[in-house]
Structure 1
Amino acid sequence: MTRDDGVKKTVQAGMSRRYFLQVSAAGAVTATALGASGFVRPAKAAAYDTFTWISPRGTLEVLDDYAYWSAAKMGYFGDMKTEMQPGPSDGTATVKFVDVGQADMGFPSPGVYSFSIQNGMDLISVFNEGALDTFSFAFRKGEGTKDLKKLEGKTILLGSAAWQSITDPLLASQGVDVSKVKYVEAGWPAWGTALQSGQGDAALSWEGLRAEWVAKGLNFEYWLGVQNSKFPANTFVVRKSDMADRDKKAYIERYLRGWAMGLQFGYENPRASVEIVFDKFPTLAKNLGPEIGTTSILQQIHVFRGDMAEREGWGAHDMKSWQAFFDTLKDIGQITKDVKAEDVLTNELIAGANDFDKDKVKSDAGSYELSKDMQAVDIDKIRQHLYDQAI
């Protein structure tokens, strides 16, 4: 069904704090019921017994989180007790669960993070994993355009209605009148298939997923945010109250160091990180295979790394990029108040997160034993053709 009006009511106009907490309570009931099978742990007021990170996708069987699985495999989290949760498929669950204490860290897109700000959630971004804009628009071959203004009057397919908070600012930054764009929530994971079957005119996608769609026979052409947008991508958020607690703050910094080491490991040996994720999720390995898996991770490494010569390290926020994003949101009415980037983002933990032995990580990555199938992947050839799908 078309979600043009409905999405704007729930995402752009925002919910009152009272209404949001009712929604959160409903989510908590669902999570508690699923918790019997280990879905999510109860919230704890004390220091972290287990530090829980929650996905925005409703699944963990993707290559996107290769840094975590690489770090866990290589022991970079030390004796920390950590867990990953897939979360509900609701695109805003990754911030809702952190806000009410059912997870300790979420991974929202900038648009979904703005939803939490608009709705008064007391969160702060501590690690901007996506330095460059990962989001893109997929088109059936021969139907794409470099000028996104041509999407006015057209229909864009989304996996979740909440993703309009991603697409609207991206379109607006390219001069599109977003009031003239229609959206259809085609559902996860069917929205790419829906585009190929002739529904809609374009679909939201992102780096990594672009490669995975090829494995499913979904061969599109793309307008790529990583080449055309100056906005940032997904980031790690925690409760501000946790950052005010000295022990929790130190714990979060140590946890982020594990992620930074995992990112460095993947940069040094992308195929090793692919193999680690494939060992964790055999079905994903079967569906993608070594070559597509390596293509996917190389797309993501570019997004996560950005221009490291201009960054303080893995996870550093570009305040100017974020401020431009928030200003665009205000212009289009997605948020109703001015947001100062420094109030909702911090680079306070970046130096500590990047304070690790890079030579050791490079050695670990270089000595990782690959399978014969992974060794056969021509990584240089993949790099040469990484953006062949771009319009």
Structure 2
Amino acid sequence: MTKLQSGMSRRYFLQVTGSGLVTATALGGSALQARAEPYDTFTWISPRGTLEVLDDYPYWSALKMGYFGDLKTEMQPGPSDGTATVKFVDVGQADMGFPSPGVFSFAIENGMNLKSVFHMGARDTFSIAFRKGEGTRDLKQLEGKTILLGSAAWQSIVDPMLAAQGVDITKVNYVEAGWPTWATALAAGQGDAALSWEGLRAEWIANGLEFEYWLGVQHSTLPANTFVVRSADLEDPDRKAFLEKYLRGWAMGLEFGYLNPRAAVEAVYEQFPTFASNTGPELGTTSILQQINVFRGDMENREGWGWHDMSSWQAFFDQIHAIGQITKPVKAEDVCTNELIAAANDFDHEKVKADAEAYQLSEEFAAIDVENIQAHMFDNAV
């Protein structure tokens, strides 16, 4: 993680709350600026306020299998504020964030000089959850209705998704119901729908929350979450070389998970035993299979893990400019880059395959029928 200079130059300063949590706060056009020096420990920050999820399975798989080598890395949950993942990278308190495209657009709009370097979400991971019997394929039915969010920042996710489906977003109401309570609020009858995403569907089932879903993976062509860094880091040869090695570890973890999803779940569960006991092998495998579908996307038309489809990103930026989410047009190639993708995917694929095939599953996981789960992945879709 980079050290900070005392000079303030852009948009946010850091504040320590009463609980000791470091947060980023707006400061009228100035921010702490990072020195251009080698990373001490490279810090990745979550957009969710927690790491106890299956979404980050490529990292835990790669860590377990030694794919990061001697790189010094760490994962941080960050605050539950939906925009913290870009704010912390901007001011140098983290080195890589994982924002949704909507939150990334917030960073662009607010002058943060960040760039997307590894597009994790090749398919649109986001969905709209409804109570049983209330789901609809026509999202125009949400006009005049209330959508529940875990964070107010998530409106930047939902607005373009709805607009792309012909919804008049000025007629949609949003309520911030909090993390992780927005799903239970929907189940309790508060609001008409809620934002969800692939992988989370399975976790909600684990908690007894059964909904119907309009699924972005089936109906949307918009991009999903991506890895962003400070643009200046790409101009530093040492940092760029580090990023290539770091992303290679993620790509190897993605490949390993695709080849042996149950082993990837086990890697996550070893890190978080309580989460493991609450979720279990079957729902964990279901969650990870949903996410693999998102992360892999249409791989035969991609140039490897993390590759940006610039046409999809451009359509997204055009959409959010049309609805006023950003005030100026954005050219996808200016804020997204594939310059690290070839190096990230330049690994020994046969070794990863051998690792995945040789992995000894626990008895519980060996009993999980992956093909049966895949056959029923979309049973609760409308």
Q: Which residue of 2 aligns with 1:229?
A: 220
SS at 2:371's partner residue? helix
**1:131-142 alignment runs, 5 A limit:** 131-142=122-133
More helix by share: 1
Given residue 145 of structure 1, which amino acid in structure 2 is its aligned partner? Answer: T
Give the drift of 1:33.
3.8
Q: Aligned pair in 2 of structure 1 residues 117, 383: CA closer, same or farther (>3 Å)?
A: same
Counterpart CA distance in 1 for 2:46 and 2:310 is 24
Question: Taking every aligned residue pair, what percent have the same amino acid on both sides?
Answer: 73
Q: Does 1:364 align with 2:355?
A: yes
SS at 2:116's partner residue? strand
SS at 1:334's partner residue? coil
Given residue 29 of structure 1, which amino acid in structure 2 is its aligned partner? Answer: V
Give the drift of 1:311.
0.1
Given residue 271 of structure 2, which amino acid in structure 1 is its aligned partner? Answer: K
Match of 2:158 among 167, 172, 182: 167
Counterpart CA distance in 2 for 1:212 and 1:248 is 36
Give the drift of 1:369.
1.2
Q: Aligned pair in 2 of structure 1 residues 32, 142: CA closer, same or farther (>3 Å)?
A: closer
Give the drift of 1:91.
0.2
SS at 1:300's partner residue? helix
Match of 1:340 among 321, 331, 336: 331
Give the drift of 1:183.
0.4
Q: Which residue of 1 aligns with 2:26?
A: none
Counterpart CA distance in 1 for 2:41 and 2:333 is 29
Q: Aligned pair in 2 of structure 1 residues 201, 114: CA closer, same or farther (>3 Å)?
A: same
Unaligned runs of 5+ in 1: 1-17, 36-41
Q: Which residue of 1 aligns with 2:381?
A: 390
Retained in 1: the 8 A contact 2:115–2:335? yes
**1:92-111 alignment runs, 5 A limit:** 92-111=83-102
Retained in 1: the 8 A contact 2:36–2:233? no
Q: Does 1:374 align with 2:365?
A: yes
**1:4-83 alignment runs, 5 A limit:** 21=11, 24-25=12-13, 27-30=14-17, 33-34=20-21, 45-83=36-74
Q: Does 1:306 align with 2:292?
A: no
Aligned pair count reads: 365
Q: Which residue of 2 aligns with 1:259?
A: 250
Given residue 86 of structure 1, which amino acid in structure 2 is its aligned partner? Answer: P
Given residue 221 of structure 1, which amino acid in structure 2 is its aligned partner? Answer: E
Give the drift of 1:34.
3.8
Give the drift of 1:29.
3.2
Match of 1:189 among 161, 173, 180: 180
More strand by share: 2
Counterpart CA distance in 1 for 2:148 and 2:368 is 33
Q: Aligned pair in 2 of structure 1 residues 292, 308: CA closer, same or farther (>3 Å)?
A: same
Given residue 278 of structure 1, which amino acid in structure 2 is its aligned partner? Answer: Y
For residues 332-377 of structure 1, give each alpha carbon's deviation from its aligned partner in whole angstroms, at most 9, with x where no partner exists: 0000000000000000010100000111101101111111111111
Give the drift of 1:44.
6.1
**Structure 1 runs of 4+ with >4 Å offset:** 42-45
Counterpart CA distance in 1 for 2:18 and 2:363 is 41
Q: Which residue of 2 aligns with 1:330?
A: 321
Given residue 91 of structure 1, which amino acid in structure 2 is its aligned partner? Answer: G
Counterpart CA distance in 2 for 1:167 and 1:137 is 9
Retained in 2: the 8 A contact 1:71–1:77? yes
Retained in 2: the 8 A contact 1:193–1:218? yes
Q: Aligned pair in 2 of structure 1 residues 267, 32: CA closer, same or farther (>3 Å)?
A: same
Counterpart CA distance in 1 for 2:155 and 2:370 is 35
Q: Aligned pair in 2 of structure 1 residues 240, 43: CA closer, same or farther (>3 Å)?
A: closer
**1:231-310 alignment runs, 5 A limit:** 231-310=222-301
Q: Which residue of 2 aligns with 1:87?
A: 78
Given residue 89 of structure 1, which amino acid in structure 2 is its aligned partner? Answer: S
Retained in 2: the 8 A contact 1:127–1:236? yes
For residues 80-107 of structure 1, give each alpha carbon's deviation from its aligned partner in whole angstroms, at most 9, with x where no partner exists: 0000000000000000000000000000
Counterpart CA distance in 1 for 2:196 and 2:145 is 17
- C-alpha RMSD of the superposition: 1.6
For residues 117-151 of structure 1, give each alpha carbon's deviation from its aligned partner in whole angstroms, at most 9, with x where no partner exists: 00000000000000000000000011010000000
SS at 1:90's partner residue? coil
Counterpart CA distance in 2 for 1:31 and 1:311 is 46
Match of 1:350 among 338, 341, 355: 341
Counterpart CA distance in 2 for 1:224 and 1:364 is 33
Counterpart CA distance in 1 for 2:365 and 2:34 is 41
Q: Aligned pair in 2 of structure 1 residues 30, 257: CA closer, same or farther (>3 Å)?
A: farther
Give the drift of 1:30.
4.2
Q: Does 1:201 align with 2:192?
A: yes
Retained in 1: the 8 A contact 2:148–2:177? yes
SS at 1:108's partner residue? coil
Counterpart CA distance in 2 for 1:29 and 1:379 is 45
SS at 1:157's partner residue? strand
Give the drift of 1:19.
12
Q: Which residue of 2 aligns with 1:13?
A: none
Retained in 2: the 8 A contact 1:43–1:103? no
